[in-house]
Amino acid sequence: MVAEQAPDRDGMRALLDVSGDGLVLLDAAGRVRYLNDAAARLLGSDGAGLLGRPGPFPVPAGTGANPSTADGAVRWAPSRSRPRELEYRIAAGPQDGYAVWFRDVTDVGHQQARLTAIARAASSVTASGALAVTLEAVAQEIVRTPGINAVQILAVDDPAADLRVLGMAGFGAAPEFVDRLGACRRLGADVRFLDAFTAGVPVVVPSRKAAIMADAAWEPLHEIMDRPDWDGFVSMPMIVRAQVLGVVNAYYEPGADPGPASVAFLEAMADHAAIAVDTAALLTQTRARAESDERRRLARELHDSVVQQMFSMRMQATVLRSQLDNGAEPEGMRASAEELASLSSSALTDLRRLVFELRPLELAEQGLVDALRRHAAAVGARTGLRVDVHTDRARIEAGLDLQEDVYRIVSEAVHNVVKHAGASAVEVGIEVDGADLVVDVSDDGTAAPLPADEPVAGARLGLVSMRERTERWGGRFAAGPRPGGGWAVRLAVPLPGGGRTPR
C-alpha cells in the first residue's frame, strides 16, 4: 500500500490492498492521496511518485464532490516501459475527493485489434482476386497491430533458390530486396527465417536488429533493414495441408514483447496467407483445366461442323469434275455448283464463329455489347432460336480480359439453352448496378439445362466454368430454374475502380 493518508478502517484497507483492480483516491483538485498495491503495480515504477501529484485520471468538471459516476479510458505512458491502456470508473469519494477504480486493458485491446486484423485478412482472401493484392492487404493488417512495425510475406519454393516477396509493409519501396538478400546469403549471412521454413515451427529472436546491423554479411541489406524502428523478430511458417509454402516475418518495435498472444496472432495470419497462396495455385490449375476442356469442345465442333462440310464440299467438287469430264450440259451442273457454294458459305460461317470463340477480336474493336449482339444474331441464324440482347449502355468500360470472360459466360449459357432447354427465345440483359456489371440470361424453355446423363461434361461442366470465370473477378454467380418456367443465369462482377483484380 502507498498512501499519503490511509483510510480509517484497517479491514477496508486490507481488502483494498488485495484487490486485483487498481484503486486511487484523489483530492478535489485531482491529486493522488492513496494507491492500493494493485494500482501501484499497474501504474509501474512511477506509481509511488504520483502521491501528492495529479494522477492520470481526469476529475469531473466543476468544483466539489460530484455524486455521479463516470467511465472512461486513458493512455498511461510510464517511463522505462511501453504505454498502457487503462479503463476506469470515477465516483465521488471521501473529503470532497474522488475514488477511481481501474484496470489494465492493454492486452485485451491488442487482442481485439488482432482479431479484427484476422477478420479483415480472411475477408480479403475470399474477396480479392489477385494473390499479390490479398497478401499486401494481409501485410498491411499485420503492421496495423500494436507492437509490430514491419512485416514480410515470403514464398519459399526451395531453400537453396531465390524466394518471392508476396507482401511487404513497413520497409518502404524495396524492389531490390530479393537481389540484396541473395547477396547476403552468398556472403554467409545467418538467415533465420529459413530455419522456420525448414523445421515448420516459429522462430523467435529477441534483439535481432542489432545483430544484423553489426554483421558484415548483412551489409547489402543494411539500408533496407534499418528503415523501420524494430528490435525483436519472429518468423512464422505458412503451412497448408502439412506443406510449408513460405514464411511471415514480423519485426517488433523496441520494447514490444513477441509473447504467446502475439505469436498466436501471427500464426493465424500465416494460416490465412497460406490459404491464399494455395487457393491461387488451385485456381490456376482449375483455369488451365477449363481452358483445356474448352479447346476440346472447340475441336469437337470443328470436326462436327467445318470438317464435315469440307468433306461434303470435296465430294461435290468430285461430282462436278465428273460431270465436266462427261460433257454434261452447264444447266445440269448448276445444282452441283450451287450446293458447293452453299456448303462453302456455311463452312466459312462456322469457321469464323469458331475463330471468334478462340479470341473474340470484336471485343477490342466494338466492345462487349456489340460482340454479344453479333453472337446472338449468329446463334439465331444457325438455330432459329430468338436471342435478344437488352441494355442501355453502348459500351461497357472494362478491361478486355473481363469482357472476354463475361462474353464466354453468356455464350456458354446460350449454348446450354440451344442444346438442352427446348426453348424458343432467350433474353440477355446487361446493366451497371452501382460498381457491378450485372448480366442476366433467361429462356422460356420447359427443361432445365442439366440432363441427368451428363453428370460431368456438357451443361454441368459449363455451369462450373461459368462460375469459375465469375469468381475469378470476385463476382457472384447463380443459376437455376425460373418460377414461371425456363432457366436463368445471373452474374455480377465488379467493374474497374471497385478494387478487384483477377485471380
Nearest C-alpha neighbor of 104 from the set 199, 214, 207, 22? 22
- Our CA angle for 35, 36, 38, nearest 5°, is 115
* pLDDT for the residue numbered 477: 93
Tell which residue, 146, 141, 148, has the closest CA to residue 230: 148
Dihedral of CA atoms 209, 210, 213, 218 in degrees, nearest 10, equals -60
C-alpha cell at position 60: 469531473
Of 121, 118, 154, nearest in space to 244 by CA: 154
In angstroms, what CA-CA distances link 88 with 76, 134, 141, 378?
A: 12, 39, 29, 74
Residue with cell 480479392: 128
Query: What pLDDT is attached to residue 225?
Result: 96
447 pLDDT tier (thresholds 50, 70, 90): low
Residue whose entry in the numeric block shows the C-alpha cell 463452312: 347
Which sequence spans correspond to the domains of the chain? 2-104, 109-283, 363-503
Q: Which residue has the higher pLDDT, 64 or 134?
A: 134
Domain 2-104: homologous superfamily in CATH: PAS domain (3.30.450.20)
| Whether the predicted pLDDT of 354 surpasses 60 | yes
Residue 68 reports pLDDT greater than 70: no
pLDDT at residue 232 in the model: 93
Q: What is the pLDDT of residues 464-497, one digit of tens each?
A: 888 888 988 889 999 988 887 888 999 999 987 6
CA 304 → CA 19, 96, 347, 426, distances in Å?
86, 98, 11, 25
What are the DSSP E strand ranges found in 253-327?
A: none
Percent pLDDT > 90 in the chain is: 23
Fold of 363-503: Heat Shock Protein 90 (3.30.565)
Amino acid at 135: L
pLDDT in tens, 376-391: 888 888 888 999 999 9
Residue 123: the pLDDT is: 55
> Does position 425 have pLDDT exceeding 80, yes or no?
yes
263-286 pLDDT tens trace: 888 898 888 888 888 877 776 676
pLDDT over threshold 90, residue 396: no
Question: What's residue 338's pLDDT?
Answer: 79
Question: Contact at 8 Å (CB) between 4 and 34?
Answer: yes
> Is-same-fold flag (2-104; 109-283)?
yes
**At residue 201, does pLDDT exceed 90?**
yes
Whether pLDDT at 113 is above 70: no
Mean pLDDT score, 360-374: 77
| CATH T-level assignment (fold) for domain 109-283 | Beta-Lactamase (3.30.450)
pLDDT exceeding 70 applies to what percent of the chain?
76
Give yes or no for residue 109 having a pLDDT over 80. no
